Amino acid sequence: MDTKTESRYPEVYARSLRDPTGFWGEQAEAIDWIEKPKTVFDPKAGIYGRWFTDGVCNTCWNAVDRHVKAGRGEQAAFIYDSPVTGQKRKISYKELLDEVKAFGAVLHGFGVEKGDRVIIYMPMVPEALIAMLACARIGAIHSVVFGGFAAKELATRIDDAKPKVILSASCGIEPGRTVAYKPLLDEAIKLSKEKPQAVILLQRPQQEAPMTAGRDHDWAALRAAAIRDGKTADCVPCLATDPLYIIYTSGTTGVPKGVVRDHGGHLVSLNWSMKGIYGIDPGETWWAGSDIGWVVGHSYIVYAPLFHGCSSVLYEGKPIGTPDAGAYWRVISEHGVVSLFTAPTAFRAIKKEDPQGKFLSGKDLSKFRTLFLAGERADPDTIQWAEKLLKVPVIDHWWQTESGWPMVSNPVGLGAMPVKYGSPTVAVPGYDVRVVDEQNKEVKPGTMGAVVVKLPLPPGCLPTLWHQDERFKESYLTEFPGYYKTSDAGYKDEDGYIFIMGRTDDIINVAGHRLSTGGMEEVLSSHPDVAECAVIGVADQLKGEVPCGFIVLKAGVNKPPAEVEKEVVSLVRERIGPVAAFKLAIVVNRLPKTRSGKILRGTMKKIADSQPWTMPATIDDPAIMDEIKTSMKERGLAAG
Ligand code: COA
Ligand code: AMP
């Protein structure tokens, strides 16, 4: 295809690689610094170098205070729209400033100071965002844990982050049910070795929770007292390289990785991305339809839109069922949203419920310019359906928790490049994305390989894992020396367009949520009747992938297999959480293995997905593959 372009992208991208310090030094001018960095990049600092090493700043100042100072006080910072509770509320920059000052003082009251960790285990309510910004204000390091995770997952994060205080709410609200958070929190604290000094609990009227005397404190009462007494917290100067937050993400074992984000690089890169990638201007209304528990929520519900002086929608609801498949169109029209960022799965859900787009009728989408999709591969069918329906560009873009902002995208703000369906388009300025073979040699265009990024990573990307420098090096920097390993496979075409085809590790993507099958296998193996197991991700029309577990029972187990299957499904829900969407376990007699004993998960997946497959030459006993296929067919898999 003809990819000649009027876009400024080729020139901006080339400059970002040719002269990274010049490029990022200029972008840093858009930030308010307490002490302006003299060093843009120090190659000797940290593990692969650090950005803005001698800069001093405050993230909350840049997100809130400076906009009030510049006259945006009356503009909405957040627009809270919660169909599950029937609430709508605009929080202006001025109100937000008062709230973060007060809540910062509340945290100070519990002895939380610069460098202390605070875990936030909360639903999508304004208080959660206020808490994140209040932590940033006082230099405390927040770690937000997604509400759909179970107690054990929360406990693992508590033990790793060792928070002084945990912030939580009495409940979350899912369509048709209220999820009590408090029992999960209590159980997590019971399971954890590192006990927090205090819990600050937001009581929601939908389901209040009993308080634990001596440990739990009422959020509303503390806030009211701070405001009554005029207590406020000032912005604490932080080094650009100090950690702003830790976000845990699935690793290849059950132990999640604590991705660290720093202040300075995060500020500069995210602020640049709002215009450079997303084409958004200050004052516009932007909506990231994600959850604050995920990186998309951190970066594009909370931080980037606020750094850039936008109004950001905080939506507590789903694309369908709250109340119908027109929910997204309602929010866009009601709040004058110019761009929406969500996961393809949300659009697949809407498409399934309302293929003709009937719910769009009567909705005013005149301000709406662009739809951005990420979190999983955007299938061309869904993209084309959305383009036809909404009559706006639909942009697939690719990134990870680790990067914190897009690595490959169509840079709308620099002038959009021609779209190639199935490709998230081109490497974002700052990212030198390559495709290499096992020998770490770049492959020819069109050839699949490992997608890697040449070091150093640009500002905003993880400098390390929380207190685990060695694990950081092993996980990301060792296999392809000189590069960061993304653990995604893909290829580049002759025009430099990048195609991301899937993970090279055990991570699967369920409704845009990143989950480790290894972690699920650990749970299945812990069941007393299970001898061995394998979990694979099987293709799903709605969620992209869903997990499916194969289990071999121990000799002498007399229970009916269906009973064990039910028990392991409950066990995963209990240990990892409902977000794993683990609903299918199949008892089999044997698992297919190589002669050296490795379970052939890749071939099992191909069979389950009805993809072409060949019998691996290394298989120990080919008959087992037929047995597995029969078991799959009985359960509705391997239909082709
Ligand atoms: N707290 C507690 N439970 C939660 C939760 C939360 N914050 N979020 C999800 N869950 C539960 C759900 O209720 C569901 O439980 P169930 O098994 O009892 O039904 C389970 O976790 C799986 O949730 P989800 O992945 O949301 O699937 P769903 O079937 O409820 O909805 C979609 C499907 C497509 C509508 C939904 O995945 C969606 O809205 N996706 C949007 C994309 C997105 O947010 N991606 C994030 C990365 S950008
Ligand atoms: P997370 O860290 O949860 O954001 O998940 C990151 C992973 O999701 C990536 O490594 C990819 O495997 C996948 N992913 C995210 N966005 C895309 C995309 N646009 N296309 C293909 N895969 C994607």
State pLDDT tens for residues 18-32.
Answer: 999 999 999 999 999
Per residue in 159-195, is it b (16+ CB within 10 Å) or e — as a string?
Answer: ebbbbbbbbbbbbbbbeeeebebbebbbbbbeebeee
Taking 80 as the threshold, does the pLDDT of residue 253 lie above it? no
Taking 90 as the threshold, does the pLDDT of residue 377 lie above it? no
Closest-approaching ligand to the CA atom of 514: 2
Tell me which residue has tokens 């932007």.
Answer: 286
Our answer on whether the CB atom of 154 is closer than 6 Å to any ligand 1 atom is no
DSSP code at position 35: B
Taking 90 as the threshold, does the pLDDT of residue 617 lie above it? no
Q: Which amino acid is at 63?
A: A
> 79 Cβ partners below 8 Å, 6+ apart?
88, 89, 90, 91, 285, 311, 312, 313, 314, 335
Taking 90 as the threshold, does the pLDDT of residue 256 lie above it? no
Confidence of residue 333 (pLDDT cuts 50, 70, 90): very high
**CA-to-CA dists, residue 342 to 328, 348, 394, 397, angstroms:** 10, 11, 11, 11
Structure tokens at 73: 């006080």
Confidence of residue 638 (pLDDT cuts 50, 70, 90): confident
Our answer on whether the CB atom of 416 is closer than 6 Å to any ligand 1 atom is no
What is d(CA 259, CA 243) in angstroms, rounded to the nearest whole number?
A: 10
Taking 80 as the threshold, does the pLDDT of residue 252 lie above it? no
- Round to the nearest angstrom and report the end-to-end CA distance of the chain: 33
Q: With H, G, I as helix, E, B as strand and everything else as coil, classify residue 179.
A: strand
Structure tokens at 625: 């593959």
Taking 70 as the threshold, does the pLDDT of residue 44 lie above it? yes
- Answer yes or no: are the C-beta atoms of 292 and 129 closer than 8 Å: yes
What is d(CA 470, CA 41) in angstroms, rounded to the nearest whole number?
A: 22
Which atom belonging to ligand 1 lies closest to the Cα atom of 573?
17
Which atom belonging to ligand 1 lies closest to the Cα atom of 172?
1
What is d(CA 333, CA 412) in angstroms, rounded to the nearest whole number?
A: 22
Residue nearest atom 44 of ligand 1, based on CA coordinates: 290
What is d(CA 62, CA 66) in angstroms, rounded to the nearest whole number?
A: 6
Confidence of residue 597 (pLDDT cuts 50, 70, 90): confident
Our answer on whether the CB atom of 328 is closer than 6 Å to any ligand 1 atom is no
Cis peptide before 323 (omega within 30 of 0): yes
Taking 60 as the threshold, does the pLDDT of residue 591 lie above it? yes
Residue nearest atom 20 of ligand 2, based on CA coordinates: 377
In the chain, CATH 3.30.300.30 sits at 511-634
Gap from CA of 378 to ligand 2 centroid (Å) = 10
Q: What percent of the chain has pLDDT over 70?
A: 99
Residue nearest atom 15 of ligand 2, based on CA coordinates: 375
Q: Could you tell me whether strands 285-288 and 243-249 are parallel, antiparallel, or unpaired per DSSP bridges?
A: unpaired
Gap from CA of 400 to ligand 2 centroid (Å) = 6
Structure-derived torsion over alpha carbons of residues 376, 10, 492, 545, reported in degrees to the nearest 10: 0
394: nearest Cα among 362, 419, 358: 419
CA 200-205-206 angle, to 5 degrees, is 110
Which atom belonging to ligand 1 lies closest to the Cα atom of 291?
44
Our answer on whether the CB atom of 458 is closer than 6 Å to any ligand 1 atom is no
In the chain, CATH 3.40.50.12780 sits at 41-78+90-260
What is d(CA 419, CA 635) in angstroms, rounded to the nearest whole number?
A: 39
- Answer yes or no: are the C-beta atoms of 534 and 527 closer than 8 Å: no
What is d(CA 448, CA 631) in angstroms, rounded to the nearest whole number?
A: 32
Q: Which amino acid is at 526?
A: S
Structure tokens at 442: 């770049």
Residue nearest atom 9 of ligand 2, based on CA coordinates: 400
Which residues are bridge partners to 490 per DSSP? 449, 500
Taking 90 as the threshold, does the pLDDT of residue 446 lie above it? yes
**CA-to-CA dists, residue 495 to 428, 444, 451, angstroms:** 14, 12, 16
Taking 80 as the threshold, does the pLDDT of residue 640 lie above it? no
Closest-approaching ligand to the CA atom of 249: 2
Show contacts of 545-548: CB within 8 Å, 24+ apart. 545/376, 545/508, 545/509, 545/510, 546/510, 546/581, 546/583, 546/584, 547/508, 547/510, 547/515, 547/517, 547/520, 547/580, 547/581, 547/582, 547/584, 548/584, 548/585, 548/586, 548/608, 548/637
Tell me which residue has tokens 């927090």.
Answer: 196
- Give just the sign of the alpha carbon dihedral 320, 323, 329, 333: negative
Structure tokens at 232: 């406020």
Our answer on whether the CB atom of 180 is closer than 6 Å to any ligand 1 atom is no
Our answer on whether the CB atom of 134 is closer than 6 Å to any ligand 1 atom is no
132: nearest Cα among 94, 190, 78, 51: 78
Per residue in 250-280, is it b (16+ CB within 10 Å) or e — as a string?
Answer: bbbebbbbbbbbbbbbbbbbbbbbbbbbbbb
Closest-approaching ligand to the CA atom of 486: 2
Our answer on whether the CB atom of 460 is closer than 6 Å to any ligand 1 atom is no
What is d(CA 49, CA 359) in angstroms, rounded to the nearest whole number?
A: 51
Structure tokens at 176: 């048709």
Which residues are bridge partners to 177 per DSSP? 174
Residue nearest atom 19 of ligand 2, based on CA coordinates: 398
Pocket lining for ligand 2, CB < 6 angstroms: 249, 295, 374-378, 396-398, 400-401, 424, 486, 488, 500, 503, 509, 514
pLDDT of residue 275: 98
The mean pLDDT of the chain is: 96
Residue nearest atom 19 of ligand 1, based on CA coordinates: 578
Q: What percent of the chain has pLDDT over 90?
A: 93
Mean pLDDT of 553-560: 94
Our answer on whether the CB atom of 249 is closer than 6 Å to any ligand 1 atom is no
Q: With H, G, I as helix, E, B as strand and everything else as coil, classify residue 418.
A: coil
**CA-to-CA dists, residue 111 to 102, 118, 505, angstroms:** 15, 11, 41
Which atom belonging to ligand 2 lies closest to the Cα atom of 501?
21
The CATH homologous superfamily for domain 41-78+90-260 is: ANL, N-terminal domain (3.40.50.12780)
Of 66-80, 276-290, 382-396, 614-628, least confident by mean pLDDT is 614-628
Cis peptide before 578 (omega within 30 of 0): no
Gap from CA of 539 to ligand 1 centroid (Å) = 17
pLDDT of residue 4: 64
Gap from CA of 622 to ligand 2 centroid (Å) = 34
Confidence of residue 3 (pLDDT cuts 50, 70, 90): low
State pLDDT tens for residues 265-290.
Answer: 999 999 999 999 999 999 999 999 99
Taking 90 as the threshold, does the pLDDT of residue 6 lie above it? no
Per residue in 331-344, is it b (16+ CB within 10 Å) or e — as a string?
Answer: bbbebebbbbbbbb
Which atom belonging to ligand 1 lies closest to the Cα atom of 294?
47
- Give just the sign of the alpha carbon dihedral 350, 354, 357, 361: negative
Mutate which of 376, 379, 579 for ligand 1 pocket (most atoms within 8 A of beta carbon): 579
Closest-approaching ligand to the CA atom of 301: 1
Closest-approaching ligand to the CA atom of 544: 1
pTM: 0.94
Gap from CA of 321 to ligand 1 centroid (Å) = 12
Q: Return the CATH number of 511-634, one of 1.20.1090.10, 3.30.420.40, 3.30.300.30, 2.30.40.10.
A: 3.30.300.30
What is d(CA 301, CA 123) in angstroms, rounded to the nearest whole number?
A: 13
Closest-approaching ligand to the CA atom of 579: 1
pLDDT of residue 254: 62
What is d(CA 517, CA 549) in angstroms, rounded to the nearest whole number?
A: 9
Mean pLDDT of 424-435: 98
Taking 60 as the threshold, does the pLDDT of residue 105 lie above it? yes
Mean pLDDT of 334-362: 96
Q: Could you tell me whether strands 311-315 and 76-82 are parallel, antiparallel, or unpaired per DSSP bridges?
A: parallel
Higher pLDDT pick, 251 / 469: 469
Gap from CA of 579 to ligand 1 centroid (Å) = 6
Closest-approaching ligand to the CA atom of 573: 1
Gap from CA of 311 to ligand 1 centroid (Å) = 25
State pLDDT tens for residues 175-225.
Answer: 999 999 999 999 999 999 999 999 999 999 999 999 999 999 999 999 999
